[in-house]
Chains A and B, each alone.
Chain A
Amino acid sequence: MGVVLDGLSWALLLAGSFFVITGGVGLLRFPDVYSRMHAAGMTDTLGAALFIAGLAVQGGFTLITVKLLMILLFIFFTSPTATYALANAVWSSGVRPKRRDGTACEAIDRSDEPSKS
């Protein structure tokens, strides 16, 4: 394990920690359940990815790294599904998102707009 690889691994782990902590702070600062999901989303996307990248550098070209990447792949398939289940359950039970001033946020229908690009 060279100094360079150790340094790279540490940098990735620290960057991952930053996004996990940011996710935690966002969870506390954001006003309602919907916006808190966005904060939690940072923990399980870039936070998890940077952590696993940092550990993969420690693992080198071994089966351990392959397993770490598989874990990342499974996180990226399952976490949005879980978040959708949570968001849909919240929506179905009648909780509506709040604006910053505390008023309820109504849905804007833009489904009739043709998508550009």
Chain B
Amino acid sequence: MLRIVSLGGALVVAWLLLSGHYTPLILAFGLFSVIAVVAIAVRMDVVDHESVPIHMTGRFLSYWIWLAREIVKANIDVAKRVWSPALPISPTLLWLKTSQPGELGQVIYANSITLTPGTVSVSLQEDRILVHAIAREVGDDLAAGEMDQRVTRLEASGIPAPAQGGQGA
């Protein structure tokens, strides 16, 4: 129930911010759309811990701030490699362990890896992830596991991972 209300609230806010026309007719359209979308989502049974992860809301902000710093650092690192005449790259493929309990956590981890220039997630199998790194030391940094641990803490905070969101296999 809390998830349904949160979804509705988020949609109302999205409508109000995107619309910018606050006349009764348009607001009524907005309300009708929000109710219709929530009703369809409930009927499709997709309002769950994955589509509305409210248990992570508080932790997302601190994770994003950390991730933003990592992205900036990685961008500068790759930019240096691009402009350096010697092209100092040593492409590496690595299988790494993912320690997240659920699929959503794995997706956040894989997307975070890809968002950071210099590392791209290539394949995800059960609790292992294949990563391509632009240089050996970039791969070593990732293998040290700080990002993995942070995503696990992000996902594990709040409620325990529900059974249906378990490992992919």
Contacts and interface: CB of A to CB of B under 8 A. Distances in A.
Interface in A82-111: 83-84, 87-88, 90-92, 97-100, 105-111
> Which range holds the interface residue count of chain A?
35 or more
Contact of B115 (A79, A114, A115): A79
A35 B144 contact: no
Contact of A97 (B93, B110, B112, B113): B93
Contacts of A109: 95
Nearest to B16: A63
Interface stretch (B26-34, B46-54, B126-134): B126-134
Interface string A36-65: 011101100110010000000000000100
Nearest to B97: A111
Contacts of A45: 71, 75, 115-117
Given A67-B18, A87-B132, A115-B144, A42 B93 contact: no
Given A38-B120, A98-B91, A107 B130 contact: yes
B78 A41 contact: yes
B2 to A, nearest CB: 23
Interface stretch (B37-45, B79-87, B154-162): B79-87
Which of B82, B92, B94, B95 neighbours the largest number of chain A CB atoms within 10 Å of its CB? B82
B82 A35 contact: no
B47 to A, nearest CB: 19
B156 to A, nearest CB: 14
A33 to B, nearest CB: 10
Interface of A: 18-19, 22-23, 25-26, 29-32, 34-35, 37-39, 41-42, 45-46, 49, 63, 66-67, 70, 76-77, 79-81, 83-84, 87-88, 90-92, 97-100, 105-117
Interface of B: 17-18, 20, 71-72, 75, 78-79, 81-83, 87, 89-97, 99, 110-123, 127-128, 130, 132, 134, 143-146, 148-149
14 contacts: A18-B79, A30-B89, A32-B91, A34-B91, A38-B118, A45-B75, A46-B72, A63-B18, A63-B20, A76-B115, A84-B120, A100-B91, A110-B143, A115-B97
